[in-house]
């Protein structure tokens, strides 16, 4: 257990569905991250939050919408996704934004049909 | 970021020490060496990091050469559950791009019974 939990662990959705991924960290960290990991591709940083404020958005399509209601919770709202969005979505946290010591959740395996 | 070079794969017998090398000949004075691993279909897991002194925690030991151009991650008693891809990263403690972790190809460690 890393202290970072993600739900659901697996998700299948159609292109017209709306779903949300949830992440919770129990480490008292101030920063949280969303990453995307596709098969045979490097880890892609999507969003960074520091104390509930978004500090980085790496040109992610608007069909991905993050939400950070407090420093322990992070959501990724999904709508009208494409099949190429199928991937492992990883949440991580660190003491401060930018730290290279990050603790990851188990990920949500997303399949878009 | 300094580049790292790791062997693509290594084998280890269960119960023996696994020694994973990493070359980082262009590392700068303030850059740390970080190690992560990723077990198949799981999120990356932080293992250990160091600047110039050797480090040890409950998971592993990190040996950094005096010139800091290479390092070795040591798993003292490898188990089957240590089979994973191991990534060596070199970066400043505060990171760059708001904490983006950049994994290279890593080393696939296979622990055999």
Which tokens belong to B104?
């290279």
List, in order, residues 6 or more apart from A59 with CB less than 8 Å away.
none
DSSP 3-state assignment of A58? coil
DSSP 3-state assignment of A84? helix
Q: What pairs with residue A72 in β-bridges? A: none
Distance from CA of B35 to the nearest CA of A (A): 9
B68-102 burial, b at 16+ Cβ within 10 Å, e below that, comes to bebbbbbbeebeeebbbbbbbbbbeeebeebbbbb
Instruction: For residue range A17-42, list pLDDT tens digits in order.
Output: 899 999 999 999 999 999 999 987 88
Instruction: For residue range A57-111, list pLDDT tens digits in order.
Output: 778 999 999 999 999 999 999 999 999 999 999 999 999 888 889 999 999 999 9
> Quick one: how many helices (H) and strands (E) in chain A?
0, 11
Q: Taking a C-beta distance cutoff of 8 angstroms, is the pair B101, A100 a contact?
A: yes
DSSP 3-state assignment of A83? helix
What is the C-alpha to C-alpha distance for residues A28 and A18, in angstroms, rounded to an integer? 30
The pLDDT > 90 percentage for chain A reads 74
Which tokens belong to A94?
């660190």
Q: How confident is the model at residue A41, as a pLDDT?
A: 83
* Side-chain-facing half-sphere of B28: CA atoms under 13 Å: 7
> According to DSSP H, which parts of B1-113 are helical?
none
Give the alpha-carbon dihedral of B59, B57, B33, B20, to 10 degrees: -40
Q: List CB contacts (< 8 A) between B42 and chain A.
A: 106-107
pLDDT range class, residue B104, cuts 50, 70, 90 = confident
Q: How confident is the model at residue B105, as a pLDDT?
A: 86
Nearest Cα residue in chain A from B101: A100
Which tokens belong to B54?
């050797």
Instruction: For residue range B4-47, list pLDDT tens digits in order.
Output: 999 999 999 999 999 999 999 999 888 899 999 999 888 999 99
Residue in A88, A102, A109 closest to B99 by CB = A102
Q: How confident is the model at residue B49, as a pLDDT?
A: 95
Handedness of CA B40, B44, B50, B51 (dihedral sign): positive
Residue in B42, B43, B101 closest to A100 by CB = B101
Distance from CA of B45 to the nearest CA of A (A): 6
Q: How confident is the model at residue B96, as a pLDDT?
A: 54
Q: List CB contacts (< 8 A) between A58 and chain B.
A: 100
Q: Taking a C-beta distance cutoff of 8 angstroms, is the pair B72, B55 a contact?
A: no
């Amino acid at each position: 257990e890393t202290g970072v939990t993600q739900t659901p662990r697996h998700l299948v959705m159609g292109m017209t569905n709306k779903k949300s991924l949830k992440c919770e960290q129990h480490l008292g960290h101030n920063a949280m991250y969303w990453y995307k990991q596709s098969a045979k591709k490097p880890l892609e940083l999507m969003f960074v939050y520091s104390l509930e404020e978004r500090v980085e958005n790496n040109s992610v399509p608007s069909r991905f919408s993050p939400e950070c209601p407090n420093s322990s919770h992070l959501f990724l709202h999904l709508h009208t996704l494409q099949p190429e969005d199928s991937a492992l979505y990883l949440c991580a946290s660190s003491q401060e934004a930018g730290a290279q010591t990050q603790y990851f959740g188990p990920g949500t395996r997303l399949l878009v049909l | 970021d300094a580049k790292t070079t790791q062997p693509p794969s290594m084998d280890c017998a269960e119960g023996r020490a696994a020694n994973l090398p990493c070359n980082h000949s262009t590392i700068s004075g303030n850059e740390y060496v970080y190690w992560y691993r990723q077990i198949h279909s799981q999120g990356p897991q932080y293992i250990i990091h160091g600047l110039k002194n050797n480090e040890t925690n409950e998971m592993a030991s990190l040996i950094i050469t005096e010139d800091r151009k290479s390092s070795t991650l040591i798993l003292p008693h490898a188990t089957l559950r240590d089979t994973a891809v191991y990534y060596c990263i070199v970066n400043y403690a505060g990171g760059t791009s708001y904490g983006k972790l950049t994994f290279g190809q890593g080393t696939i460690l296979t622990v055999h019974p």
